[in-house]
């Protein structure tokens, strides 16, 4: 039997073990498995029951080959009793046996049941076990069970000795001690601390659940069972580790959508599992009931079903009325939003780390605004009142005495009615957007991007006489259109948004300035460089007049103007603007942690240093930016892909062609993961790989990627663009490297035609076309008319 078949058997066996012991057979019968698979799993369940008896009474059954008996010594420890077992391993309580000192430990071994698997599968199981031992050795934290020792038995089986936690699972601890919601959150924050420590060492647990979190008599939770954890810098596809973990990795009830779809996992996958645990910890039940579901049904439930609100779940939880009321008093909208953000189906919309989740819980416990809540002045005021009840009460009393309660109440009523009406209008518009993607309404299933493009035409009908609402909706849709390169549609929305915003909010309101920044970016993409520069300067001046130097829009305006100068090869001006951006960032962050903006700023400064020939400075800045982005986005991001590509260009200029090509390939692979359809970033990535592959003599790869890039550029760039011309010049170079002189000449003519429409033409692109033309002129059979500059 091959490893994949063994894996299927083991996967169903582990799912059966998740069911109550007396319900496992009935559950398995209900799964409609193939007869051979059903029979194999049933035999494993029978063997599991037999091993349980054997472990308690070893003389009653034959010992599995090579598996230690109770009372036997392993390393410096003697096995005393069986504590627990999971799908892959079995854990014993063991006593120090060398008389050095008195110590109890937990010793973990591979399940004896799996030792009879074929050699390949057994080797994979052992590799996974040894991986856990390696990862645990890197961790030292009060909320993670420590590894104390490890080795190999006489028969070659790996073992590890861990700190023995004499405790119970997280849920049981909270229930048995009658902890209220606030106390549960304080314990849970410590769990997040342990997870964050693993993430800090670039380790993703991937099987977080209450049973893997034991709470000792001291009240400290400790994470256990890193059996399917992995290093973030380890490849996930095609490796032996991936083969093993793909068989059994995860407990479905706590697994993230990307895990059940067998997609790459990141630290945010663990954040999702923490969200499920928090949901269960506060409401009394899990968000999804998966018992009896097939794998396909379970996947649809986890990936597509929205869990009930915490309060609704709490009402149906198996709790007595007094406990239900006590927990209900501890739930509020902020906690609902924290759980919802942690469990968001979209990976990028979850908390970025376990630390962020823990920090938001701390804010909630302190009565401060949480990040999961949409920010507003009213929300912050309510939180301020909650933290300063006495002072607020006195101030309110004085205000009421002066202004009169009746007038205040009437004003508040009008404001509340207006806000409610605004919310209804916006919600109605959002529902219209969503309904457009419904195939019953549209005649075919639309993407969200298509639905947004269609919804843009309905803004006037949804917000008649309300330019204050339509301006912000137009800005959001217009900005999205620029990022998706719908430039003509974006221009319509952003110009209207500017007119409406200036009329309603004024020229120097931050909402208006954001639209100006969006328009400047649009003009840049359209090749209308002088207009873009003027708009950036205008936006910067408005910010300074309005005292908005610490608002993010000010930083974006200065940074993006620097980047525009760089694309025009105006490097000294670009450097000056980006240095100014760095000063703005430092002033507004006051020594706080770096984030995406800081990493991108470093990358931009590195690019300018590169263009100015300051290679050592550029390399140092790129590496710093890459490290910050990798810590923020372990699974990759568009920004990180750009940094990798830029590092490839730097390596190329430093005559490291092999290193450059490796970086280009890494960058392209990440871009293809991030952008599923056509995108300018993919055009750039394809061009880099094609160009260097041609120079390395790999003409097949060069031609394939260059042709993809040129064809995609035709679809992406609807207006004049130097990058469009560059893509066709790369195709010319690839064809020339493959000996197709006529095809190279044809592609170069297309590139020149495209560049002629760009005003002013980008000097670096023109220089690249000239270099390709020079190589074409030197090729046998080239015509002078084809290679000479026009």
Residues with a catalytic annotation lie at 207
Give the CA count within 13 Å in the CB-facing half-sphere of 40: 19
Q: Which residues contact 428 (CB under 8 A, 6 or more apart)?
A: 462
- DSSP per-residue string spanning 264-305: PP-HHHHHHHHHHHHHHHHHSS-S---TT--HHHHHHHHHHP
Q: Which residues contact 488 (CB under 8 A, 6 or more apart)?
A: 718
Helix, coil or strand: residue 696: coil
Q: How far apart are CA 255 and CA 276, in angstroms?
A: 9
Q: Which residues contact 417 (CB under 8 A, 6 or more apart)?
A: none
Strand partners, 222: 214
Q: How far apart are CA 212 and CA 150, in angstroms?
A: 20
Q: How far apart are CA 291 and CA 24, in angstroms?
A: 11
Cite the DSSP H helix spans in 138-180. 170-176
Q: How far apart are CA 2 and CA 121, in angstroms?
A: 8
Q: In 3D, which of 85, 58, 60 has the Cα closest to residue 69?
A: 58
* Residue 760 preceded by cis peptide, ω within 30: yes
Q: Is the dihedral of CA 552, 557, 560, 565 positive or negative?
A: negative
Q: In 3D, which of 55, 385, 423, 10 has the Cα closest to residue 228?
A: 10
Tokens of 616: 């050592």
Q: How far apart are CA 774 and CA 80, in angstroms?
A: 80
Cβ atoms 695, 652 nearer than 8 A: no
Residue in the structure block whose two tokens are 């469990």? 343
46-51 contacts: CB < 8 A, separation 24 or more?
47/113, 48/17, 48/113, 51/111, 51/112, 51/113
Tokens of 498: 């500017």
């Amino acid at each position: 039997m091959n490893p994949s078949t063994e894996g299927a058997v083991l996967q169903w066996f582990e799912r059966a073990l998740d069911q109550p012991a007396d319900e496992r057979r009935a559950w398995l019968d209900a799964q409609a498995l193939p007869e051979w698979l059903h029979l194999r799993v049933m035999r494993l369940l029978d063997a599991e029951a037999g091993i349980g008896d054997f472990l308690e009474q070893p003389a009653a059954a034959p010992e599995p080959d090579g598996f230690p008996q109770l009372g036997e010594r392993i390393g410096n420890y003697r096995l005393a009793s069986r504590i627990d077992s999971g799908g892959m391993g079995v854990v014993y309580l063991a006593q120090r046996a060398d008389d050095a000192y008195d110590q109890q430990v937990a010793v973990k071994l591979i399940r004896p049941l799996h030792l009879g698997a074929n050699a390949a599968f057994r080797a994979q199981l052992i590799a996974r076990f040894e991986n856990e031992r390696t990862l645990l050795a890197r961790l030292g934290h009060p909320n993670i069970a420590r590894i104390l020792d490890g080795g190999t038995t006489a028969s070659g089986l790996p073992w590890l000795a861990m700190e023995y936690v004499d405790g119970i699972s997280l849920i049981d601890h909270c229930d048995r001690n009658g902890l209220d919601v606030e106390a549960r959150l304080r314990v849970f924050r410590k769990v997040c601390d342990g997870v964050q420590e693993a993430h800090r060492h670039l380790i993703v647990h991937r099987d977080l659940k209450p049973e893997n979190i034991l709470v000792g008599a001291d009240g400290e939770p400790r994470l256990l069972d890193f059996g399917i954890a992995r290093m973030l810098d380890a490849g996930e596809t095609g490796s032996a580790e991936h083969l093993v973990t793909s068989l059994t990795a995860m407990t479905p009830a706590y697994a993230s959508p990307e895990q059940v779809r067998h997609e790459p996992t990141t630290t945010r996958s663990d954040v999702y599992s923490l969200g499920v645990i928090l949901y269960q910890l506060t409401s009394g039940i899990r968000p999804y009931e998966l018992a009896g579901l097939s794998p396909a049904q379970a996947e649809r439930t986890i990936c597509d079903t929205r869990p009930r609100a915490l309060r609704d779940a709490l009402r149906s939880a198996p709790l007595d009325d007094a406990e239900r009321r006590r927990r209900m008093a501890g739930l509020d909208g902020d906690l609902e939003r924290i759980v919802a953000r942690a469990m968001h189906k979209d990976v990028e919309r979850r908390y970025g780390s376990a630390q962020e989740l823990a920090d938001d819980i701390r804010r909630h416990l302190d009565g401060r605004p949480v990040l999961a809540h949409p920010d507003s002045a009213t929300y912050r005021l309510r939180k301020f009142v909650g933290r300063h009840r006495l002072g607020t009460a006195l101030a309110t009393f004085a205000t009421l005495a002066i202004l009169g309660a009746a007038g205040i109440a009437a004003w508040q009523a009008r404001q509340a009615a207006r806000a409610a009406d605004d919310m209804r209008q916006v919600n109605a518009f959002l529902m219209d957007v969503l309904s457009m993607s419904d195939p019953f309404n549209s005649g075919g299933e639309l993407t969200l991007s298509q639905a947004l493009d269609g919804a843009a035409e309905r803004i006037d009908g949804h917000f008649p006489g309300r330019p204050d609402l339509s301006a912000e909706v137009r800005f959001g849709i217009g900005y999205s259109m620029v990022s998706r390169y719908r430039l003509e549609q974006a221009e319509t929305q952003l110009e209207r948004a500017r007119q409406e915003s200036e009329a309603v909010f004024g020229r120097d309101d931050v909402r208006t300035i954001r639209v100006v920044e969006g328009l400047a970016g649009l003009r840049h993409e359209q090749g209308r460089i002088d207009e873009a520069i003027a708009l950036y300067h205008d936006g910067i001046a408005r910010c300074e007049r309005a005292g908005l130097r610490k608002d993010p829009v000010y930083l974006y305006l200065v940074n993006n103007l620097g980047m525009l100068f760089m694309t025009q090869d105006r490097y000294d001006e670009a450097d000056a603007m980006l240095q100014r951006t760095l000063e703005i960032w430092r002033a507004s962050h006051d020594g706080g942690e770096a984030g995406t903006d800081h990493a991108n700023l470093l990358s931009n400064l590195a690019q300018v240093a590169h263009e100015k020939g300051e290679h050592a400075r550029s390399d140092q800045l790129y590496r710093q930016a890459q490290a910050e982005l990798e810590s923020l986005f372990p699974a990759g991001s568009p920004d990180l892909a750009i940094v990798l590509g830029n590092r490839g260009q730097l390596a190329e200029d430093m005559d490291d062609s092999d290193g450059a090509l490796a970086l280009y390939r890494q960058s392209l692979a990440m871009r293809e993961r991030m952008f599923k359809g056509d995108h300018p970033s993919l055009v750039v990535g394809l061009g880099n790989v094609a160009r260097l592959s041609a120079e390395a003599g790999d003409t097949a790869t060069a031609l394939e990627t260059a042709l993809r890039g040129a064809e995609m550029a035709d679809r992406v760039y609807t207006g004049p663009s130097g990058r469009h011309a560059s893509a066709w010049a790369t195709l010319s170079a690839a064809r020339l490297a493959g000996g197709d002189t006529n095809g190279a000449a044809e592609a170069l003519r297309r590139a020149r035609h495209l560049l002629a429409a760009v005003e002013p033409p980008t000097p670096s692109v023109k220089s690249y076309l000239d270099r390709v033309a020079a190589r074409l002129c030197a090729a046998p059979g080239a015509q002078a008319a084809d290679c000479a500059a026009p």
